Amino acid sequence: MILKIVQLGAEVLRQPARPLTPEEIQSLEIQRLIADMCDTMRDAPGVGLAAPQVGLSLQLAVIEDPEHYHQELNPQQLAERGHRPVPLHVLINPRIVARSEPLPCFFEGCLSFSGFSALVPRSQKVTVEFLDEYAHEHRIEAEGWYARILQHEIDHLHGNLYIDHMQARTLMTLENYKRYWKDIPVSEIQRRLGK
Ligand code: ZN
């Protein structure tokens, strides 16, 4: 089932979400929610979706970054962004336990602020501990675009959005991003728009 994605201004996007217990994770209700969130993320389409974005203040997110989402990028852009396909997985009660300095800046968007994009600095590497949909514990070390997605989704679970970290002068409509900026190096965009 496709769920409604709430937009900026919905209070739930600004509230810290609560963790789930192992019993709750295995409940029919949460298993159904996970399936619906996967359907909703794919339908949007997006590479991640957090429960607050569908109006539920729970520490749950789904992530999937399939290879065919990267077809518009040339090999150099893929390498710069550290793009690698990420299979579908579920993130419950995640914690970032280690991160590198927030350095690389790339354009980021959000399904809850649809139609816009801005440059956002993010850590190149993060270590995350979380539970999966079976309440099994995991620890992953991620880098590049996957690390960026993890930071974006985990932000949602703490009531934070990319606009809290963005380089505000680079905020633009997706339409204008595609029209004017998509093939221009980040450093030049920052120089022309100002930081
Ligand atoms: Zn988002």
Quick one: tokens of 183? 């093939």
4-25: pLDDT as tens digits: 999 999 999 999 999 999 999 9
Residue 115 phi, psi dihedral angles, 5° rounding? 95, 0
The neighbourhood of ligand 1, an ion, using CB within 5 A, equals 110
- Look up tokens 């590497």; give the residue: 125
* pLDDT confidence band for 195 (50 / 70 / 90): low
Mean pLDDT along residues 51-64:
98
3-state secondary structure of 67: helix
Distances (CA, A) of 5 to 43, 57, 149: 11, 13, 18
Residue type, 193: L
The whole-angstrom separation of Cα 142 and Cα 124 is 8
Say which of 133, 153, 175, 188 is annotated catalytic.
153
Quick one: tokens of 163? 């606009």
HSE on the CB side for 11, CA within 13 Å?
0
pLDDT of residue 37: 98
The whole-angstrom separation of Cα 41 and Cα 1 is 11
User: Does residue 175 have an active-site annotation?
Assistant: no
Cα–ligand 1 centroid distance for 158 (angstroms): 12
